[in-house]
Structure formats: C-alpha cells, structure tokens
Amino acid sequence: MKCPKCKGKNIIKRGKRYNKTNTKQLYQCMKCNLTFMKHDGFERMRHNKKIISRAIHMHNEGLSLFQVQDHLWQHDGIKVTRKTISDWTKKYSVFLK
C-alpha cells in the first residue's frame, strides 16, 4: 500500500469511518501526513456491494447467469441484465477474496 500523494510506504491506520452502506478504513502517511481512505473498487458501483458479492458468489457456485438474474429479481427485487452480472464477475471477483 502506498500514499496516493507522495507514494510513501510508511502508512498507519487511523481508525474507521462509518456510513449506512459501508465502513472505510482511514490511513495516514507518516511522510507527508496525508490522511486518506483506501479505495476498494466498489465505490463507483451503482448496485449494492452486498448484492454484487452475492451474485458473484452464486455464479461461482455454479449457477447460470440466468439463475442468478432470476434470484436477484425474486429475492431482492433487483432487475439486472445477464450481461451486467457477467461484467460483475469479471470486474469485481478480484476484490472478493
């Protein structure tokens, strides 16, 4: 992990910030004193992180895109295309390890 400003590697944790949907870890750079939040890749998502995580998980468990799509509609009332789910699995599975 690096400081976004000076690229320094001496980073310490500065506690957490909470809001309704997620928790963000705050960090401080010991070199330039910049306080920053870690970007986890989910910030620009239109859909809830929980929904996306679940969709990817179901798909990884062997459900077809159609079954995942159906599940999201039946259980969560969320309409997404199979293409969207497919994109999620490609884009975000790396963040869910």
Note the residues at the interface with Zn ion (CB under 5 A). 3, 5-6, 8, 29, 31-32, 34
Judged by CB, which is closer to Zn ion: 12, or 94?
A: 12
Residue 77 DSSP class:
-
Q: What is the DSSP string of 22-74?
A: -EEEEEEETTT--EEE---S-TT-SS-HHHHHHHHHHHHTT--HHHHHHHHHH
CB of 61 to Zn ion, least distance (A): 41
Residue placing its CB nearer to Zn ion in the complex, 1 or 94: 1
Q: What minimum distance in Å lies between the beta carbon of 86 and Zn ion?
A: 38
